[in-house]
Chain A
Amino acid sequence: MIPIETIGQVAEHYDIAVVGAGPAGLAAAARAAELGLSVLLADENPAPGGQIYRAITTTPVTPRAVLGEDYWKGGALVDRLRPTNAAYAPGCTVWSVAPDEAGGFELGLSLGGQARLIAAGQVILATGAQERPFPIPGWTLPGVMTAGAAQIALKASGLVPSGRTVIAGCGPLLYLLAGQLAAAGANIVAVLDTTPRRNWLAAIAAFPDFLRSPYLAKGLKLMAAARGKLPFKTGVTALAAQGAGKVTGVTVTRGGATETIPCDALLLHQGVIPGINLANAAGCAQHFDTVQHCWTPTVDEWFASSIPGIAIAGDGAGIGGAESAALRGEIAALDAARRLGRLSEAERNEKAAPTQAELARSLRGRRFLDLLYRPAPQFLAPPADETIVCRCEEVTAGQIRDTARRLGVTGPNQMKAFLRCGMGPCQGRLCGPTVVELIAQERGVSAEETGYYRLRPPVKPVTLAELAALPPTDAAVKAVVR
């Protein structure tokens, strides 16, 4: 592993560029480098691991039981990359991926306040997942954070919430986080479970498969540990964060009764969805996954996207968890090596076979979890008009519903033109799913038919100085000089 510290150390060309150093990106980069290919692994975080193995090489949390044994498995992925010749660039943002004239791709990078354009023959996007937006009244108040944010503060900095802490939402990660924070000494005054009871009806058909899954033992352990020690409240049907300037409490409705629980921190979580911005901006086709209930880039069995030469590995192409992400990275790297002529099709197939078998095993039971922990409709499309949906431009659910109805807006791109939702710095990451949900509901059509934002590079802000300092290509000069 060759560490890259300045933008000048990045080479002009790599066989493969991997974006994101979570499990999928680490495995893809290691596999490609082991095959003798030149690899750039670019990651915007300061250290490898992605979110699930965040700070795996630097965490100050020493008691292993706090983060659990699954976390420490991440170390092996970094150890595998170390002896290779892959270039690893931490703190490096990839803000654009576009086809170049040589049949490969041009990548726009920023590192340490300087930008560069480099070339790569193949691109593997391993940009991972983000937490599904959880729009409730007051979710923009300081002191309201995602559960994942608290987990990152714990893993990377050894920080725990210092006051009365409420955790709310649904999904296996909610129980994991509750357990981790409790083990780290946080004062958890309530765990508010929003899992709709009727989800069991939809999920039960997938239960036999789940019984044979690697999730089962893990899941039961998490549940038992969290439920035994923590003040759980199930059947929550409405939530609102209270406070002026910062959160001071959360109003909870369950069984028709409403109460307010005073708190200093409110941690929200209702599952994770693929982070699709870079794939979408690169022009990769996507579809609405009705089981996982989210927009997902469309990939084949080798994780190749609709654009030949761009693969999407890991949770960025559908949620499967850390173990499956690493396996998917491995498979995508083998196919990229085949496209580059390093492996024949037969060699690729032979090398991939054991990994594909392991992948199938690791994904068994996933469907049950997806169906059981699908968020309730009122937490996907907030019924209270005053709920902010677009955090950047402060556009409310009421405005979106009203505009959809009165102006007959058919999709999120048109909505963006009218209301500016999705136009702020987060580029729709925190409002896109909700805007789609609200328009679909208002029009009585599916999310698939409603569509998603058409995103464009740069997918992260780049300063004018960075852009101006880029060397102009002949094509760029011809485009403006007459």
Chain B
Amino acid sequence: MFRPMHEAKPAEALGFTFDGRALTARAGDTVAAALLANGIQACRQTPVSGADRGPYCMMGVCFDCLVVIDGVGNRQGCLVPLREGMRIETQAGRRHPDGAQS
């Protein structure tokens, strides 16, 4: 859904995974920007209806870019700088007492 503009200054590429897929993005990107640059629009499901959501405000206000980063849930992807080797996962909707997710 987003692409680098032609005249952008080149930068080092960082490797990361999203739901197990190996991807790369530009050093200096936030997690949310790295996902958008890789064509990933939805990064969480809501806890109420399970609807897909993706980054909306990119400035820490809306909480729609919540993702799991290296095992820690509910991180705001738009505020976390991407690091080499990050393991990013979809923030699944509602938690159930038995540990399963829907």
Contact surface of B with A, Cβ cutoff 8 Å: 1-11, 26, 28-30, 33, 36-37, 39, 41-42, 46, 48-49, 51-64, 66, 72, 74, 78-79, 81
Decide: A145 near B58, CB < 8 A? Known: A161-B2, A391-B64, A424-B63: yes
**A45-B78 Cα distance, complex, nearest whole Å:** 9
A160's contact among B5, B54, B56, B61, by CB below 8 Å, is which?
A: B5
**A146-B65 Cα distance, complex, nearest whole Å:** 13
Chain B binding site: helix, strand, loop or mixed by DSSP?
Answer: loop
**A66-B7 Cα distance, complex, nearest whole Å:** 10
Any B CB within 8 A of the CB of A104: no
Query: Nearest Cβ in chain B — how far from A374, in angstroms?
Result: 21
Contact between A430 and B61, CB atoms less than 8 A apart: yes
The A155-175 residues at the B interface (CB cut-off 8 A) are 156-163
Q: Which of A136-144, A253-261, A329-337, A355-363 contacts B (4 or more CB under 8 A)?
A: A136-144
Can you show 26 pairs from A to B with CB atoms below 8 A apart? A44-B60, A45-B79, A51-B59, A60-B28, A61-B5, A62-B9, A142-B53, A146-B56, A153-B58, A157-B33, A157-B37, A158-B9, A159-B5, A159-B37, A160-B2, A160-B4, A162-B39, A264-B1, A275-B61, A391-B56, A394-B46, A424-B63, A425-B63, A426-B62, A430-B62, A463-B72
- Complex A-B, nearest 5 residue pairs according to Cβ-Cβ distance, in ascending order: A158-B8, A142-B54, A149-B58, A142-B41, A60-B9
**A212-B64 Cα distance, complex, nearest whole Å:** 42
Contact between A153 and B81, CB atoms less than 8 A apart: no
**A61-B28 Cα distance, complex, nearest whole Å:** 13
Q: Besides A140-B53, A394-B46, 4 other CB < 8 A contacts?
A: A66-B7, A161-B2, A246-B54, A275-B61
Contact between B59 and A158, CB atoms less than 8 A apart: no
Contact between A140 and B51, CB atoms less than 8 A apart: yes
Contact between B48 and A461, CB atoms less than 8 A apart: no
Any B CB within 8 A of the CB of A343: no
Chain A residues contacting B7 (CB-CB under 8 Å) are 61-63, 66
**A148-B4 Cα distance, complex, nearest whole Å:** 17
**A352-B95 Cα distance, complex, nearest whole Å:** 54
| CB-CB nearest in chain A for B28 | A58
Any B CB within 8 A of the CB of A203: no
| CB-CB nearest in chain A for B56 | A145
Any B CB within 8 A of the CB of A392: yes
| CB-CB nearest in chain B for A157 | B33
Query: Nearest Cβ in chain B — how far from A358, in angstroms?
Result: 28
Decide: A148 near B28, CB < 8 A? Known: A61-B5, A143-B1, A185-B5: no
B48's contact among A146, A162, A393, by CB below 8 Å, is which?
A: A393
Contact between B9 and A163, CB atoms less than 8 A apart: no
**A424-B36 Cα distance, complex, nearest whole Å:** 24
Any B CB within 8 A of the CB of A31: no
Contact between A159 and B3, CB atoms less than 8 A apart: yes
Contact between A152 and B36, CB atoms less than 8 A apart: no
Query: Nearest Cβ in chain B — how far from A45, in angstroms?
Result: 7
**A295-B46 Cα distance, complex, nearest whole Å:** 28
B41's contact among A45, A184, A246, by CB below 8 Å, is which?
A: A246
| CB-CB nearest in chain B for A145 | B56
Chain A residues contacting B64 (CB-CB under 8 Å) are 140, 391
Contact between A159 and B28, CB atoms less than 8 A apart: no
Contact between A143 and B9, CB atoms less than 8 A apart: no
Chain A 421-435 against B: per-residue CB contact (8 Å), 1 yes, 0 no?
000111001100000
Any B CB within 8 A of the CB of A154: yes
Chain A residues contacting B10 (CB-CB under 8 Å) are 60
Chain B residues contacting A159 (CB-CB under 8 Å) are 2-5, 33, 36-37
Query: Nearest Cβ in chain B — how far from A108, in angstroms?
Result: 16
Contact between A149 and B59, CB atoms less than 8 A apart: yes
Contact between B59 and A162, CB atoms less than 8 A apart: no
Query: Nearest Cβ in chain B — how far from A274, in angstroms?
Result: 12
Which of A61, A154, A157 counts the most chain B CB atoms within 10 A? Answer: A157
